[in-house]
Amino acid sequence: MKFYNIIIKYRFWLSILVVLIGVALNLTGTGFWPTFPIYFLALIGFASHFFIGPMRLIQGPMESGDIEEVERILASIWFPALLYKPVRSTYYTILGNLAMMKQDFDSAEKHLKMSSSLGSPMPEAEGANKLQLGMMSMQKGDLKQGETYIRAAIRAGIPDKESEAVAYLSMCQIFMNKREFRAAKDFFRKAKACKPKTQQVLDQLKEIEKYISRVPG
């Protein structure tokens, strides 16, 4: 596996080396067809470098929290527009998540919208993407856009119960703001049914419960 990662990391330069070997063989009198497999191998290397990229290398640094290495790998992608569509979607999602970690919400929104426009090979990933866009819209005070994104996230499917609870709580807050208390209470019950365990989400549930128990509907 480590050897395969090295191949991915250096395949562009290895492909150039393979081409040079093919050219050298041709100059020594070797015909084209005997060297064709060499050129074909180089073609595969170039194609995989530009159309798939080094995204597979990101998993390890992401799991270990090595954000600098993740950024370095992403920076090695010279032409993102050439990436295969699902890979490009993942690329922009990761860029958006990194921007959110830095609280650069404008860049995060731009990248996540680009990812969302490309679609995702996994509906759950698309749901998480739209949930993040919805949360950013709410932070900006655009509750209408936030509701649109969060509804789309719920329809697409959200990958974990904690995030699903956040989505329902956000919808609860939106409908309380609209004074549609029956719908707000319904979303609150759905959030509780997710049985979240994160303290921040539990605190939010307690705060809303204090208020929502006193409203009509």
Check if the beta carbon of residue 51 is closer than 8 Å to that of residue 64: no
d(CA 59, CA 32): 40
In this prediction, residue 157 has a pLDDT band, given cuts at 50, 70 and 90, of confident
User: Which are the contacts of 159, defined by CB distance < 8 A and separation ≥ 6?
Assistant: 124, 125, 127, 128
Q: What is the pLDDT, as a whole number, of residue 145?
A: 92
pLDDT digits (tens, 9 = 90+) for 163-175: 899 999 999 999 9
Q: What is the pLDDT, as a whole number, of residue 122?
A: 61
pLDDT digits (tens, 9 = 90+) for 82-99: 998 888 988 998 898 888
State phi, psi for 215 to the nearest 5 degrees: -95, 155
d(CA 190, CA 93): 27
Q: What is the pLDDT, as a whole number, of residue 120?
A: 66
pLDDT digits (tens, 9 = 90+) for 122-131: 656 788 888 9
In this prediction, residue 47 has a pLDDT band, given cuts at 50, 70 and 90, of very high
Q: What is the pLDDT, as a whole number, of residue 42?
A: 93
